[in-house]
Amino acid sequence: MQNLTQQVPLLFFGAVAGVAAMAAVGVVAFGSAIRSALCLVLNFFLLSILYFTLGSQTLGIIQIVVYTGAIMVLFLFVIMLLNLGGIKILHEKRDPRLILGGVLGLGLFALIATQILLPLQRVTQPRAAQDFGKPESLGVTLFSGYVWPFELASFLLLIGIVGSILLAKRRILPSERQEDSVRSLESGEVAG
Amino acid sequence: MTGLLTNFYADALTRDTWWIQLIRVLLLIVPILTLVPGLIWWERRLLSWMQDRVGPNRVGPWGLLQPIADGVKLFFKEDITPAAVDRAIYFMAPAIALFPAFALGATMPWGSVDPDSPYRLLTPVADVPIGILYMMAVSSLGVYGVVLGGYASNNKYSLLGGLRSSAQLISYELAMGVSLACIVLASGSLRMTDMVKVQEGPLWGIGGLPIQNWFFFTPYGFLAGVIFLICMVAETNRAPFDLPEAENELIAGYHTEYSSMKFAVYFMGEYAAMFVFSGIFAAVFLGGWNPLPIRWEAIGLGGLNHFLKILGPLFFITKMAFGISVYIWLRATLPRLRYDQLMDLGWKSLLPLAALNLIGIATWQYVSSVYGAGTAIPVGTAFVILAAIILGFVLITRKANARDFKPRTVRYVDAGKGSVEVAETGAPS
Amino acid sequence: MNGVPLIFYLGLGLFMFTTGVVGVIIRRNPIVIFMCIELMLNAVNLTFLAFARYQPSVLVTNTDQLNASAMHGQMMVIFVMAVAAAEVAVGLGIIMAIFRLRDDIDIDELNLLRG
């Protein structure tokens, strides 16, 4: 019985991580983009649970707010918008890249696993404090030692906003606008 | 098992055994489930009175059993699954829509958590230090049920409804987050029980005042509260923000292809979300379980406190009912927004206003912490005046812009006589 | 979490990262490629957090240093998230613009920059 209670965290981790890994495979393997996106949503959700188990509750919740709640909704939005535009379904070709990608992936996995992961296999006990992910301590660090990176990140986000607006905006030239209004009037729709 | 939970929330979940936790969850879910039919009845009746008609009054006393009859009807209706739907996602979507509506309330305190309160072990389900962030996270998950339902139905109208919903929810999530950030700054905590606790202090931090500091009574809190109220209506897809299901354009939007119980699940999710959002509004802005914004101990009636604490949940439900009535009132009053108006309101009005408010509250907090709480009054007055000036400026420039229509030459084709040019003066109405 | 070795978290992170790499190489839909990049970023985030919690470095011994470096790991995660958000906004904007221009988003057909 004692042994079993010891195993509970391990089993819990195994279940969550297993599903997360399968979802990660699903992102790559599914043919339709929306299925891939759903797999990614599941993956991010499970990752936030893993963040909780690591004791970093604030980042776990931010993970849901930022990734699951905002970024992935944006992805779904774009996928659906492109679907609405009647996009041709991309048929994934079976070409040499499949083999190349597989080999490269395996190689990378083997390399990092043997060189970085294996030396660390003795580490089983967390050394940081239990509550190292408290919002208070996180906020204090962010606004003391990391103020400048924080400001830079906000600037980056601002540039991102401006850039994406410029990219996604359809430019309407003044002459075009004039023509449009005349055309719409001629076709019988009276503006205003 | 406890070791695992200790690791999750050292100070929250382990304060008691598993069956108390279970009771806590049930005390949140069961009232919501049982009150949803009542809410539907109340909506139909109140809406009827506002529209000068009677409303459902045949089934049971005052028509109280009408929602149950509706439920039975929905239950026995044929469950149609259209042939071309994406089956897995189609079946999953209503469940995904229901989940956040119920999970949302997990950090919402519906009673006092003081040591002398009888509810200290029963509420909230998880008194975590990231309560308000949790609420933001879960409410942002609400979009998935709508978007996936719209996508899986394989219907252009459904897809449009889902698209609209995702854009709307992302837009209003932002203003909502910033308005809640104002309250986080004011209360100095992300924990929702702390937020209620701060509101039990004296108004504006001035020691002698016998009035409680409900955030709705502070200038910044009032602005944040109004923004939050608008955003929560938009988040729950309710009128006047019910564009995802605008019936004159999109049939029924994302749930066009859903029938019988699957439709009922969507419906229930929406109403449960209304409930919980009203509760969160009450807890964050309207002083939680406190009945009146009066500090009884400051006027020598401290003995009343314990008695009121026992009745706390009753007052909380009253406040929730008030929030829900506001929902219905809005639905009866305001016509549905156009899509561009919706985006304008979210991005050009609410978000800048909330950001300005954040700056204002930060200044307020700084001044009152450095120069004492008394100085907060002039700062607050200055803040209100500044806000009024900015608001007036915006309104006036808008008016001026709207008036700035020059006489236009409009050309149109008359079928009989060929092209005719007409000079139209004045603004097009 | 007590009882779960660090290497498990790192293993999951590594697996997600390599899956992302493979996806970027073999897929042709730019949106899916984008999602694979997000997968890689999240794998790195998980690794950061795992290291921040377990602190395997033997050089860090005193408590102050330990707390500080635990914080550094979390800060990195926050900045990765901020950069990822900006990147997604711009990237999806680019995809939309390309789609509007060409009515096709196959990544192999996009060769406008070829000399």
d(CA A167, CA A187): 31
Looking only at Cα atoms, what is the longest distance across chain C? 59
Measure Cα distances from B334 to B60, B214, B239, B429 in Å: 31, 28, 8, 21
Residue B137 to chain A, least CA–CA distance (Å):
5
Q: For chain A, list the contacting chains (3+ Cβ pairs, <8 Å).
A: B, C
Tokens of B154: 């394989």
Render B113-170 in DSSP notation, one character per residue.
-STT-TTTTTS-S---TTHHHHHHHHHHHHHHHHHHHHHHTT-HHHHHHHHHHHHHHH
State the average pLDDT over residues A76-92: 67
Contacts of B134 by beta carbon, 8 Å cutoff, 6+ apart = A61, B106, B107, B126, B128
Between the alpha carbon of residue B282 and those of residues A115, B111, B275, B306, the distances in Å are: 55, 12, 11, 20
The parts of chain C modelled with pLDDT lower than 70 are: 1-2, 103-105, 107-115
**CB-based contact A54:A129 (threshold 8 Å):** no
The C-alpha atoms of residue B363 and residue A98 are separated, in whole angstroms, by 58
Rounded Cα distance, C95 and C101, in Å:
10
Q: How close A111 comes to chain B (CA, Å)?
A: 33
Give the DSSP per-residue string, B62-113: GGTTHHHHHHHHHHHS-----TTS-HHHHHHHHHHHHHHHHHGGGG---S--
Q: Are B259 and B78 in contact (CB under 8 A)?
A: yes
Contact A164 C75 (CB under 8 A): no
Q: Give the dihedral of Cα atoms A122, A124, A129, A131; nearest 10 deg.
A: 140
**Residue-level pLDDT at B165:** 84
| H or E stretch at B424 | strand B418-424
Q: Report the pLDDT value the prediction gives residue B384, as an integer from 0 to 100.
A: 75
DSSP code of B419?
E
- In eight-state DSSP terms, residue A54 is T
Which pLDDT belongs to residue B36? 84
Question: In B, what residues contact A, Cβ < 8 A?
Answer: 1, 3-4, 7-10, 89, 128-130, 133-134, 136-138, 140-141, 143-144, 147-148, 150-151, 156, 159-160, 162-163, 166-167, 169-170, 173, 177, 190, 410-413, 428-429
* Cα–Cα distance for residue pair A42/A36, rounded to 1 Å: 10
Contact residues of A toward B, CB < 8 A: 5, 8-9, 12, 34, 38, 41, 52-53, 55, 57-58, 61-62, 64-65, 68-70, 73-74, 76-77, 80-81, 83-84, 130-131, 134-136, 182, 185-186, 190-192
**Residues in chain B closer than 8 A to A83 (CB atoms):** 151, 159
Q: What is the DSSP letter of A169?
A: P
Each residue's pLDDT tens digit, A139-154: 888 888 889 999 999 9
429 residues of chain B, pLDDT tens digit each: 344 444 444 444 455 677 777 888 888 888 888 888 888 888 888 888 888 888 888 887 887 888 888 888 888 888 788 887 778 888 888 888 888 888 888 888 887 777 777 777 777 877 788 888 888 888 888 888 888 888 888 888 888 888 888 888 888 888 899 999 988 888 888 888 888 888 887 777 666 777 777 888 887 888 888 899 999 998 888 878 887 777 777 777 777 778 778 888 888 888 888 888 998 998 888 888 888 777 777 777 777 777 777 888 888 888 888 889 998 998 888 888 888 888 888 888 888 888 888 888 888 888 877 777 667 677 777 777 877 787 777 777 776 666 555 555 666 666 666 655 555 555 444
Which residues, listed in sequence order, are joined to residue B212 by a DSSP beta bridge?
Answer: B202
Q: Compute the average pLDDT of residues A45-60.
A: 88
- Please tell me the distance from the alpha carbon of residue B288 to that of residue B272, in angstroms, as a whole number: 19
Tokens of B116: 């002398």
Of A5, A62, A74, the CB nearest to B1: A5
Task: Enumerate the residues of chain B whose CB falls inside 8 A of the CB of residue C74.
Answer: none
Q: Measuring CA to CA, how many Å separate C105 from each of B193, B355, C14?
A: 50, 37, 30
| pLDDT greater than 50 at residue A189 | no
Give 3-state DSSP helix, strand, coil % of chain A, rounded to 5.
75, 0, 25
State how far the Cα of B331 lies from the Cα of A16, in Å rounded to an integer.
43
Closest-CA distance, A66 to chain C, in angstroms, reads: 8
| A116–C19 C-beta distance less than 8 A | no
Pick from B281, B170, B296: nearest CA to B221: B281
Q: Are A21 and C12 a contacting pair at CB < 8 A?
A: yes
- Residue C115: CB atoms within 10 A of its CB come to 2
Contact B173 A76 (CB under 8 A): no
Q: Where are the alpha helices (DSSP H) in chain C?
A: 6-26, 30-54, 63-102
State how far the Cα of A7 lies from the Cα of A4, in Å rounded to an integer.
5
**Contact list, B5 vs chain C (CB under 8 Å):** none
Alpha helical stretches, state H, A96-189? 96-112, 135-144, 147-168, 174-186
- Listed residue (B308, B110, C71) closest to A58, CA to CA: C71
CB-CB contact of A24 with A51 (8 Å)? no
Tell me how far apart the alpha carbons of residues A109 and C13 are, in angstroms, rounded to a whole number.
11
| Confidence at A191, pLDDT banded by 50, 70, 90 | very low
Q: A188: pLDDT confidence band, cut at 50, 70 and 90?
A: very low
The complex scores an ipTM of 0.86
Name the phi and psi angles at C26, rounded to 5.
-95, -20
Tokens of A7: 């195993």
For the entire predicted model, the pTM comes to: 0.83
Question: Of A167, A170, A86, A164, which is closest to residue C104 (Cα–Cα)?
Answer: A86
